[in-house]
Structure 1
Amino acid sequence: MAQETGTGQAAKRTQESLGRVHFIGIGGVGMSAVARIMVARGVPVSGSDAKDLPVMADLAAAGARIAVGYDAANLGDAQTVVAGSAIRADNPELAAARAAGLPVLHRSEALAAAMARDTAVAVAGTHGKSTTTSMITVLLQGAGLDPSFAIGANVPALGVNAASGSSPVFIAEADESDASFLNYRPQIEVVTNVEPDHLDHYGTAEAVYESFDRFTALLPADGLLVACADDDGARDLARRTRERGTTRVLLYGTSPESDVILHDGGRGALTLETVTGRYDVELQVPGRHNALNAAAAALGNFTGAARRFEYKGEGCGVRVYDDYAHHPTEVRAALAAARSVAGDHRVHVLFQPHLFSRTREFAREFAEALNAADTAWVLDIYPAREDPIPGVTSQLIADHLGPNGHLVGPGADAVQAVLAAAGPGDIVLTAGAGDVTAYGPLLVEALTAGIPGA
């Protein structure tokens, strides 16, 4: 990261106090979400990114001043700078901002400022944040409200990943990866699950749990924590929060101890049991994990967030889906969803590990999750913000794969390998947080021309 996570002081500010705001890395999904909201609320916004991304044209049309490529001159007359997590310290715009003594905020601090005047609902957890945030937003819209929202994925049901609404409610995905969710000051928190991840930042599992404790401690006395009783980490977090006695706690899940009990009838048929009665729900996205997410939001009319088991197309009877899964638990959940859709047919997965540090920590667990597929191919590691770690490659995962698991090269090699094994009725899943998502359209295109090797 170019800058350390902030101290939370931005949570005490309003967006108006930031003045003219410049976003370095404005094309990122999280950065563009905050920028979109500020533009909608009349804040003068400028921004830049290394590449000309589609969202930048949308922001320009909305009134932001956009530049492609980084240059100190892009700062213009900015009074506050927001820098994305991937921005390095030697970025010319960041260096110029620091030299000029301008406030430099983490994205979460800028979002906290945007939410400062609203009733904030922050959705956190190791997995399921984007989907659950989306579900809550759609639920409130269906109830006649017009909430503001900021989500770490594009959501077809909403049309965009962020918007400024007319009601004083703000729904935000709260990212725990670098502890930046501690910059928010929500009135309601939803925690889907708590597992060790992002150990490149935290170092130990205990530090992860402690960070979530600090997150729930941010709730006011009249606040509310909504946590999943089916997840050990979230349930323990709820117990510790209750023991502090500083805020209300509500549990959801299939466990009898839940305040909202989920009865999953399969194939999207759910019943939610509460103190006020039982409610039938028809969910349009597969998988038990999505049923739990729906229980958190008490919502059925939801068609999914982008890259969360997103249907990409089909050809020759083979259906292709894409999922952001980049942790072993997420990979298992995505494959379970794929299995429920495939029925008696086979499931094939093309997986791209994300981060060298995560691959090092969870290589065996990734392999065990991938072994649930009928065939699994593993691409090279997507480095994202990290430099290579000696000895850490995708081979660490391959060492623990079953007989139907293989390493595969990029591009045409990967496409041909996957499609050579896929037959009518099968499901192909691309999974990972990197550019593996680009393989979905390539696979669909190849399928329409016939399956190689079939």
Structure 2
Amino acid sequence: MELSKIHRVYFVGIGGIGMSAIARFFHEKGVAVSGYDKTSTQLTQQLEAEGIRIHYTEDLDQIDRSADLVVYTPAIPAAHTELVYYRENGYEVVKRSDVLQEITRELFAITVAGTHGKTTVSTMIAHLLRHTGYGCNAFLGGISSNYGKNFWSSDKQVAVIEADEYDRSFLKLSPDIAILTAMDPDHLDIYGTEAEVETAFIQYTQNIKPNGTLLAKHGLPRGPELKGDNKLTYSLQNNAADIYAANIRMEDGGYEFDVVQQDWMIDKVKLRIGGMHNVENAVSAIGVAHLLGIGSDKIRAAVADFKGIRRRFEYLVKKENAVYIDDYAHHPEELRALITSAKTLFREKKCTVVFQPHLFTRTRDFAEGFGEALSLADEVILLPIYPAREQPIAGVTSEMIAARIEGPVVKIIARDEVPAYLREHPAELLITAGAGDIDLLREPLQTLLNKP
């Protein structure tokens, strides 16, 4: 696959957050892009407005029979009519990760991997490079609040890429700078064991290009096994790490802090989004910007201008009597960090968490961890499990999590019943969390909490 020789690309499952970024990459290079997706969404509508042709039924009459390349997502069933046609008729059919593999070969690649934090860190890095004028092509797993996009292009031959560990696709990438944020067990339906998850992340670091750099979170399991000709660590505030934050001060739902390294320091960095974990994320992004030779004043200004990512500790309501935060958290450690940070910032407010478990396997594997994390709240509203790509598993329901929550009031209700429930039981500090369709509650709950 030579990117310069591709003139027509067809996407099977174009509306996914990762797929749409690749579609935009080709489209902005003047390649003819079209595709299929199951449903019309805000994201597919944006793609159509940008000039990309999309249809929403399996229909061989609407596919591009002149495509040089067909890209599909693993979420598409193997028996999908269009995918079968392309495979049986000799087209070059690849996964999204194969395209990213080629991009990392051709460009200076900065890749961000980890069981959590990767969307925020990759978006922070990409924002810093764009805001400071350094420039980059950004392939993100979330929508940047600064730009309203998950992709942007640049003449600079640099790419910032979120590296997804699902189905081991990130092992195809060959970065110049690799960031590793976390190695907690997840996707055990793919990996089987915690040890296999860790082994995959070690393999990710083995693919760093010669003379490349690994920037890994301090204290990761099996840290000595991580590879990279140049190895650095970062931390929230552990001064045993190479780069860390010091003098952290909470300020109007955000933070001010210094970033310290043995040979340099950037003081009075202002981060205007919530979540202490986001201070740590910022430390890693600042570390990358400094590696690239970007000046302290430019870095400081870029961080201060960072508005966050849609559904990552996103403030939807922030007023005296009510705060509403929406987050993508779908792993126990993410939930723990989310609830802890929110309660620290708004200590005097009663914390109500609405959580939608994502996947039956993840609920089965981490019910204990979810229960412990949600026990940090004052009230918990659990929704039924969002199945995504999975079939139900006997005995695996939201009740598994509810039974392990100790302390808070717990209620299990349908998603559509939540606004009426909160109308009767008003929330002071409301958090909605999950990776399914819980985001459909954003608008009605925002409207509800904004009422005088």
TM-score under structure 1 length normalisation: 0.90
Aligned length: 429
1:161 partnered with 2:155: no
1:345 partnered with 2:349: yes
Q: 2:436 corresponds to which residue?
A: 434
Q: 1:240 corresponds to which residue?
A: 225
For residue 70 of structure 1, report the CA deviation from its aligned partner.
2.1
For residue 441 of structure 1, report the CA deviation from its aligned partner.
1.5
For residue 275 of structure 1, report the CA deviation from its aligned partner.
2.9
For residue 152 of structure 1, report the CA deviation from its aligned partner.
0.5
Q: Secondary structure at the match of 1:357?
A: helix
Residues 336-345 or 301-310, more deviating:
336-345
Q: 1:252 corresponds to which residue?
A: 234
* Correspondence for 2:258 among 243, 246, 271: 271
1:282 partnered with 2:270: yes
Q: 1:54 corresponds to which residue?
A: 42
Q: Secondary structure at the match of 1:269?
A: strand
For residue 95 of structure 1, report the CA deviation from its aligned partner.
1.2
For residue 336 of structure 1, report the CA deviation from its aligned partner.
1.5
RMSD: 1.8
> Aligned runs of 1:17-32 on 2, under 5 Å?
17-32=5-20
> Aligned runs of 1:54-453 on 2, under 5 Å?
54-76=42-64, 77-229=66-218, 231-233=219-221, 236-237=222-223, 239-241=224-226, 247-253=229-235, 254-267=237-250, 268-280=255-267, 281-298=269-286, 300-301=303-304, 302-313=306-317, 317-423=321-427, 426-449=428-451
Q: Secondary structure at the match of 1:308?
A: coil
For residue 201 of structure 1, report the CA deviation from its aligned partner.
0.6
Question: Does the aligned pair in 2 maintain the 1:377–1:407 contact within 8 Å?
Answer: yes
When residues 255 and 375 of structure 1 are mapped into structure 2, their CA distance, relative to the original with a 3 A threshold, is same
5+ long unaligned stretches in structure 2: 287-298
Question: Does the aligned pair in 2 maintain the 1:188–1:224 contact within 8 Å?
Answer: yes
For residue 29 of structure 1, report the CA deviation from its aligned partner.
1.2
For residue 257 of structure 1, report the CA deviation from its aligned partner.
2.4
When residues 108 and 354 of structure 1 are mapped into structure 2, their CA distance, relative to the original with a 3 A threshold, is same
For residue 345 of structure 1, report the CA deviation from its aligned partner.
1.2
Q: 2:292 corresponds to which residue?
A: none
Q: Which amino acid in the other structure matches residue 205 of structure 1?
A: E
Whole-Å separation in 1 of the counterparts to 2:373 and 2:45: 39
Whole-Å separation in 2 of the counterparts to 1:183 and 1:344: 47
Whole-Å separation in 2 of the counterparts to 1:43 and 1:429: 41
Question: Does the aligned pair in 1 maintain the 2:415–2:438 contact within 8 Å?
Answer: no
Whole-Å separation in 2 of the counterparts to 1:251 and 1:37: 31
For residue 116 of structure 1, report the CA deviation from its aligned partner.
3.5
State, as a whole percentage, how many aligned pairs show the same letter: 36
- Misfit runs of 4+, over 4 Å: none
Question: Does the aligned pair in 2 maintain the 1:384–1:434 contact within 8 Å?
Answer: yes
- Cα offsets for 1:375-407 (capped at 9, x unmatched): 111100000111111111111101111242424
For residue 318 of structure 1, report the CA deviation from its aligned partner.
1.6
TM-score under structure 2 length normalisation: 0.90
Whole-Å separation in 2 of the counterparts to 1:319 and 1:228: 31
- Cα offsets for 1:202-241 (capped at 9, x unmatched): 0111110111111100012211000111x433xx33x213
Whole-Å separation in 2 of the counterparts to 1:59 and 1:356: 31
Residues 97-106 or 322-331, more deviating:
97-106
- Cα offsets for 1:277-302 (capped at 9, x unmatched): 32121111222211110000116322
When residues 316 and 206 of structure 1 are mapped into structure 2, their CA distance, relative to the original with a 3 A threshold, is same
Question: Does the aligned pair in 2 maintain the 1:286–1:340 contact within 8 Å?
Answer: no
For residue 258 of structure 1, report the CA deviation from its aligned partner.
1.4
Whole-Å separation in 2 of the counterparts to 1:408 and 1:418: 13
5+ long unaligned stretches in structure 1: 1-12
Question: Does the aligned pair in 1 maintain the 2:243–2:283 contact within 8 Å?
Answer: yes
Whole-Å separation in 2 of the counterparts to 1:448 and 1:275: 47
Q: Which amino acid in the other structure matches residue 38 of structure 1?
A: F
When residues 317 and 329 of structure 1 are mapped into structure 2, their CA distance, relative to the original with a 3 A threshold, is same
Whole-Å separation in 1 of the counterparts to 2:9 and 2:320: 50
For residue 37 of structure 1, report the CA deviation from its aligned partner.
0.7
